[in-house]
Structure formats: structure tokens, C-alpha cells
Chain A
Amino acid sequence: MRIVDPTSGIAPSETVAVAASSGSPAGALCGLSNSKPGAHDLLEAIGRRLADDHGLGPHGLEAKPSAAVGADPALLDHLAARYRLAVVAIGD
């Protein structure tokens, strides 16, 4: 039997752009959570311990406006401009 592949289509051409900060970032590390309570708590703890144990900081903590939607590109640009590193938490 010959069929039309129901999964077929035009493959994505999108690639991930790696944003780099220009100049000196204000902070070393930021956390970005998917806005679920556990993810926020986890990032808070990781940031605190990295600062205490390794002096890695200052750090910021941001979240998507809602777990239901993607992160605002403006927020990602803002973080990329201000921080060198990001820890992103996706959990529930």
C-alpha cells in the first residue's frame, strides 16, 4: 500500500540564536522559571547557594508571565543584556 505520510510537511528552518551581552553585564547569573511555584523556589535556592558557596553573583530571578505562554522576547533580551549566565527551570 502506498500512502501520503500524515506527518509530512515543510521542516522547520528555525535555529536558536545565541544572544550575547554587549559590554559588562551587571550580574553573573540569572534564573528564569516557567512560573510554577516549585520552579521559582528551586531557582531561588540554587542562586542563594551559588552565591554562598562560590561567590557567584549578583543574581536575578525572573519568570514567564504565565506558565501558559512563552517567554516574552523582550524579557529574554533584557536578561541577555544584563547577565552572563542563565539557569532556566521547567517543572511542575
Chain B
Amino acid sequence: MRSILVVTSSFLPLVTAQAKARRADPRLVVVDHPIGGLSPEEFAGREETAYAGVVAELRSMGEL
């Protein structure tokens, strides 16, 4: 199963270190932290970044 990881910037060091420990090389899409407790306008910005990143990754994977 192929996967894409959407991670907030605050958790990127954790994800990177975990990936290294497990010898994995995940496809990452990084969005600004946080994604909780936001106004609808603020959340829309995060959504846009995440969506664009996922689409780009899917294209690079030949899925789109």
C-alpha cells in the first residue's frame, strides 16, 4: 500500500526521526502548525496547502 503523510510543521522532527529509526522514507506533505482550533478561514489555508501537496505527490506517483 502506498501512502502520503500529511504532517504539521511542529511534528515534522518527530516524523523524520521515527522514519529514520524504522528505515522508512515516507512521502511528506508539510502544513503549518496547528490544524486544530482554527477559524474556518485559517483552516481553509491549511486545507489548500495540504490538498496541493497531496495532488503533487499523487502526480509524482503516477496516480493522477
Q: Which residues of A are in contact with B by a Cβ distance under 8 Å?
A: 12, 14-16, 18-21, 36-39, 41-43, 45-46, 49-50, 53-54, 56, 79-80, 83-92
Contact = CB atoms under 8 A, between A and B. Distances in A.
Contacts of B36: 36-39, 91-92
Contact of B8 (A15, A87, A92): A92
Nearest to A89: B6
B5 A88 contact: yes
Contacts, number: 109
Interface of B: 1-8, 10-11, 15, 21-24, 31, 33-38, 43, 46-47, 50-51, 54-55, 58, 61, 63-64
A53 B63 CA distance: 13
Contacts of B15: 90
21 contacts: A16-B22, A19-B1, A21-B1, A36-B35, A42-B35, A43-B6, A49-B51, A56-B58, A84-B1, A85-B1, A85-B2, A87-B6, A88-B5, A89-B5, A89-B6, A89-B35, A90-B7, A90-B15, A91-B11, A91-B36, A92-B8
A21 B47 CA distance: 29
Interface centre among A16, A46, A54 (most CB of B within 10 A): A46
Contacts of A79: 1
Given A38-B35, A92-B10, A92-B36, A86 B2 contact: yes
